[in-house]
With several copies, the nearest count.
Chain A
């Protein structure tokens, strides 16, 4: 998990200033602070977001700078705050709603899907919902079935929503800026286990456009498409594979909707093999869409079927010995990649 990420696209999109090392959590916090400073219509609402700075402490310090009028502790009402966010977004504000655990979006799905996602279309393009919902994903925190899910497939499925999944501090900052400045509802998933991950970010203001995948590591023998928490896993697997003389390319779509199909397909066409890795449940999850897109688009180039590694299709168990079975590991990726490359 400590493999440093090779952020290939970084230099091309960054400003000209200095780089600094920050954690992913810090990157989120400073992005929010910068946007709160830049645009007075931005505000944050959620449970324990103010003095507590959320249980993950990602928002610590914001209320001190921006005050309780803009960093707002809410009741425990996920549907209510999401709905309020939709209405505020329609009327001149740019709300950032904090849903502590991604598992709780079930409570807000109607507001997100029937309201936020559809207002612009149903109004014939007149009303807009510049809303960001920040939430989390990822298991292995020993918090059991209701606090460990990665439910981004649900919202990726819904037209009208955009879905971002940063895997590095650099991406987190650039994608979150884009999310806040976007005129559409964006669901932004942060991996709870990645808040301490370190990486370089530029001092200058920069954004990362949605729908542009990032090649985190170039390679020629096999493509590893990985999202969010699974990018570091894929990078670790790529290291292991390198030792076996298998050159793996690691591609991070960064946003599931919109999806940069071209980059995914082009990589698979080049390498002729692909594995898709994502921490959502495997069945009917994000790996299905990505695998289907690649299998279709690279059909005439593939030397092996596109393989998928998602979370095991079980509610996440509490017991560490069981929970650790449910999430794809670098070893599992390596093993599968070896098989695909005919190295059994």
Chain B
């Protein structure tokens, strides 16, 4: 499960062309990944300083998956997300300030403070919502793809979920339907090796890829730390789905740098410090892309540093906005139960 494919071999010419063509996109990817990283570090800080109610599940380390996949999407394409959803929201275009407001239970939050970290939804960016039920959005995403097909809108739906969601039967139920009806959907399994505090070797028999292939779904396993590879593969599967050639399944191997949630500090009983260090040092998707940008002379160190500080500023401004925002009126508690 842990082997990952290297980016395909390319001719030097081809590569130079790709670099030129992709330069703007990869610079944006770099910015988006940093935005997510700084956002999450700020969330962690809010938790540690007891300024945020409840918990949150940080996406740091997995940024290339959300960003690479969402770069392959149209603005009106749909995504569904998970308990570890901040990265997906941001990659699909959510604004930092309204996200912080939501995490803090404030009125200008995406859900007026009613959803919180695990339920951010934003229909303007096609985000049908994070979901606190593992595998809980598989049906929703498949239904969105169904709508797209029925209404002929050409939209694709992306369903993000973790390796743990492979334990949920409903995923197989809807993958079967998506395949039967050739729905325009991409199932993205973010394999970060763990279901909470349990390694997936203990919970997941056989082959993850084969679980989708059994339903005749086009499936690929890739290194989820390489945003360019994620993008290229997602692009192929998304366009295939959009053309009506049926659903795809993308198994992206990745890693979460923090604990399962912000409060998960003692982790050595389920994963080693060495493993964590290895991923942070060698497999950080931001470093990987940054190095590539430098090597290919797409950007110089100063440019990257500028992006870094801009992203940091955006996050700082966003959290200020959230902290200063008002709570909803108490009377809102009984609003929005029914439409």
Contact = CB atoms under 8 A, between A and B. Distances in A.
B337 interface: yes
Residue in A90, A122, A326 with the greatest tally of chain B CB atoms within 10 Å:
A122
B335 interface: yes
Contacts, number: 272
Interface in A12-69: 41, 43, 47-48, 50-52, 55, 69
A43 B333 contact: no
A95 B151 CA distance: 13
A146 B121 contact: no
Interface residues of A, number: 73
Interface stretch (B58-66, B171-179, B239-247): B171-179
A110 interface: yes
A133 to B, nearest CB: 13
A207 B111 CA distance: 32
Contact of A123 (B115, B145, B164, B195): B115
Contact of A88 (B111, B144, B203, B327): B144
Interface stretch (B129-137, B249-257, B294-302): B129-137
A313 interface: yes
Contacts of B23: none
A216 to B, nearest CB: 27
A314 B78 contact: no
B114 A121 contact: yes
Contact of B142 (A51, A87, A110, A129): A87
Given A76-B164, A87-B140, A110-B133, 9 more contacts: A75-B173, A77-B176, A84-B174, A90-B143, A92-B151, A107-B133, A114-B133, A312-B334, A318-B111
Closest 7 CB pairs of A and B: A83-B139, A87-B143, A80-B173, A318-B116, A142-B54, A319-B105, A124-B112
Contacts of A50: 198
Contacts of A103: 133
Nearest to B335: A125
Contacts of A142: 53-55, 105, 116
A121 B336 contact: yes
Given A83-B170, A85-B143, A89-B143, A320 B53 contact: yes
B121 A318 contact: no
B116 A319 contact: yes
A344 interface: no
A114 B330 CA distance: 23
A4 interface: no
B102 to A, nearest CB: 8
A317 B118 CA distance: 12
Contacts of A114: 133, 136
B191 interface: no
A16 B323 CA distance: 56
A122 B114 contact: yes
A143 B130 CA distance: 13
A256 B170 CA distance: 29
A87 B144 CA distance: 5
Contact of A93 (B121, B146, B195): B146
B324 interface: no
Contacts of A121: 114, 336-337
Given A80-B176, A91-B78, A321-B328, A48 B198 contact: yes
Given A124-B112, A142-B116, A322-B332, A147 B132 contact: yes
Interface of B: 53-55, 78, 80, 105-106, 109-119, 121-123, 128-129, 131-148, 150-151, 157, 164-170, 173-174, 176-177, 180, 195-198, 202-204, 269-270, 327-328, 330, 332-339
7 contacts: A75-B195, A79-B169, A115-B139, A143-B55, A144-B132, A146-B118, A321-B330
B139 A122 contact: no
B109 A124 contact: yes
A81 B164 CA distance: 15
Nearest to B159: A87
A270 to B, nearest CB: 30
Contacts of B167: 74-77, 80
Given A315-B337, A318-B114, A52 B269 contact: yes
A84 B146 contact: yes
A193 to B, nearest CB: 13
Given A51-B269, A51-B270, A319 B202 contact: no
Contacts of A90: 128, 140, 143-144
A82 B139 contact: yes
A314 B330 CA distance: 13
A160 interface: yes
A132 to B, nearest CB: 14
A73 interface: yes
Given A119-B129, A318-B114, A322-B328, A74 B203 contact: yes
B177 A80 contact: yes
A318 B115 contact: yes
Contact of B121 (A82, A126, A159, A184): A126
A120 B336 contact: yes
B4 to A, nearest CB: 23
